Amino acid sequence: MTTHPHGFNTPRPNESSGARHVRGGPPPGTPESLTFVDAASDAPDHLQITNLRKNFGGAEVLKGVNLDVAQGRSTAIVGPSGSGKTTLLRLIAGFASPSAGRIALGGEEVAGPSTWLPAHKRSVGYVAQDGALFPHLSVGANIAFGLPLRGKAAALRVGELLEMVSMDTSYAKRRPHQLSGGQQQRVALARALARQPQLMLLDEPFSALDAGLRVATRRAVSQTLKQAGVTTILVTHDQSEALSFADQVAVMRDGKLAQIGSPFVVYTRPSDRATAEFLGDAVIIEAWMEGSLALCSLGGIPVRRPPVQGKVYLMLRPEQIRISSNGPIRGRVVDTDYFGPETTVRIQLEPILVDAEHPADPHQPVGGEIINIRHWNAMLARPGTELSLKVVGEGVVFPWD
């Protein structure tokens, strides 16, 4: 029987079903002396959502959502359009009332069967997708809007807030149309921070920015909120944005949270195939689960605590499959997509027999699949090239449909 060249026996850390207590295991090959722990700590929950439901007419948009967010931590709610994520954000903000369920902020119930606290009393900041600055007001007046301060006290506070979002105080005299998109978003954040909210809600605030500006603005906003100790909820449909921004990621699909955990956990150990494919490129092939090995055309891939035995789908991330001069797997390059720093390489695997002792066993995959991998050297992976491959790390399996 073909065996995988890497034997990983790293014990799996205990994992809790609680939304913010999920622990991420170490990456493959990490020494046992190093422990990777979810960024969430034992801080008390600031936001608690319990069995939240929302109906619009006869359509149920939210179907029993449960979510806890720790004080001072950030959570990204990521999902496709129409999954219910913006509706959830509006309910937290107090812009709409739930059909059922409860919302608590700082231990105080703000929405429930017999409770309703209006938005302006919830100590919640909100930054919309377009920033929603007042075009007829200066930057300073936008930030000071709603502040109880006047005169020099207001100007001093505006200056502090501009510095908090890494902008010079001279910007206070400008109008929104004189700012770049990233600057407008930072002004919107400063305005939201002006009233010192305990919870910040971000509704896809970076989606209208170009790629380079989006990354820089996202990083600046994230650092500002962390330094201020503000609990944050980001709603986005951008997977990379969710994974890079937050301490905790909640994947929403069809009005429910399909998985909640640290970015590392949800990416490397997705709960189902749909979540795996939504969070990034995935190599999914047929396999036969036998003990702790998934037998497939890539060899015997180790799997931690497989949920089932027998016929399964095996999931690997493209970066786990690497070109190696002495790799045990053979394949031929079909074509490539060049993206500058990396190239996506489509490879047809060489037909093999995983279990040579039982050649007639119909359960054993025989190869020939086309898979995608990533490589930095486009010249090495020209169409028609024969390559040797190896798999690094462990796979995840999903039950066969």
Domain residue ranges in the chain? 124-196, 281-399
Predicted confidence (pLDDT) per residue in 330-369, tens digit: 999 999 888 888 888 999 998 765 454 554 455 555 568 8
Q: Which of 59-73, 124-138, 167-181, 340-354 has the highest mean pLDDT?
A: 59-73
pLDDT at 106: 92
Retrieve residue 246's tokens.
Answer: 């937050």
Span 284-325, pLDDT tens digits: 999 999 999 999 989 899 998 888 999 999 999 999 999 988
Q: How many CB atoms lie within 10 A of CB 21?
A: 18
Say which residues have a Cβ less than 8 Å from residue 346's Cβ, sequence separation at least 6. Answer: 333, 334, 335, 336, 370, 371, 372
Spell out the alpha helix ranges (H) of 25-138: 85-93
Distance of CA 228 to the CA centre of its chain: 22
pLDDT at 381: 76
Residue 211 makes CB contacts below 8 A (sequence gap 6+) with: none
pLDDT recorded at residue 30 = 36
Q: At what angle do helices 181-193 and 211-228 cross, to 10 degrees?
A: 20
DSSP 270-297: -SSHHHHHHSS--EEEEEEEETTEEEET
Confidence of residue 271 (pLDDT cuts 50, 70, 90): very high
